[in-house]
Amino acid sequence: MLEAIIQISLLAVSISMIGLIYRVIVGPTTPDRVVALDALGVNLIAIIALASMLLHSKSFLEVILLIGILAFIGTVAFSKFLEKGAIIEHDRDH
Amino acid sequence: MTEIIRFIIGFLLIAGSFLTLVTAFGLIRLPDVYTRNHAASKSATLGVMCILLGTFLFFFLEEGHFNSRLILGIIFIFITAPVAGHLISRATYNSGVSLWEKSVRDDLKDKQKYEEKNM
């Protein structure tokens, strides 16, 4: 029973990722694509959790934290680039 | 007892996957960037937190393995996902993406003029 529920939710998260990929491809502006990619990273975390339950394996649970940190850093870098045109600013000239 | 635990885990997984589906529908159907960001940063966060809580209960109660990384992951996502949504929304507004044409009110419209006057 639990196995069937895990498979159903894996299917639902996969369909949701297809919808987000549609928004990444179509999205009229760049921030649309960044928002959709951030949500894709969050959905990838859910897929890893469901797959590790399906495989009865504890080895993939570090990956959850790692992908969370990487998605956050990527979104922050992209929003700084969109707002200021540079990700790491240099020192002032005077 | 184990049936009750399995019922709770299954309920958390179904709720989480339903919320991720709601995220996808929001991103497809809503009209402009700000409403889409609203959909993506709230329901995706709650959905993945439900799924991670279900995973934690699965490994803790079915296999007797207390995994602290899952708790750290839940807390980290709960803290950082709204911050990322705020940052990308502010960058969107400052880079000049317009609102939906049926929006009735824009309180930040005069911000540029106000800052130039008070320089």
Q: Return the domain boundaries, chain B.
A: 1-118
Give CA–CA dist B17/B79, Å, rounded. 21
Q: Please give the C-alpha separations between residue A13 and each of A33, B7, B14, B79, in angstroms, as whole numbers.
A: 19, 20, 10, 22
List the single residue in B76, B87, B89 with the smallest CB-CB distance to A65: B76
Mutation site, A1, A2, A14, A54, interface B, largest B CB count within 10 A: A2
Which helix (H) or strand (E) segment is A47 a member of?
Answer: helix A30-54
pLDDT tens track for A33-85: 999 999 999 999 999 999 999 999 888 989 999 999 999 999 999 999 988 87
Q: Return the domain boundaries, chain A.
A: 1-84
pLDDT at A52: 93
State the 10-residue block means of pLDDT for chain B, 119 residues long. Answer: 87 94 92 91 93 93 88 93 92 84 79 75
Q: Is the reported ipTM for this assembly greater than 0.90?
A: no
Tell me the pTM: 0.88
Mutation site, A20, A22, A42, interface B, largest B CB count within 10 A: A42
Q: Which residues does B69 contact at the CB level (< 8 Å), separation at least 6?
A: A61, A62, A64, A65
CA of B117 vs chain A CAs: smallest distance (Å) = 21
Give CA–CA dist A40/B90, Å, rounded. 20
Residues of A within 8 A of B14 (CB-CB) are 5, 8-9
List the single residue in B33, B44, B88 with the smallest CB-CB distance to A43: B44
CA B86 to centroid of chain Cα atoms = 11
Q: Where are the beta strands (DSSP E) in B12-71?
A: none
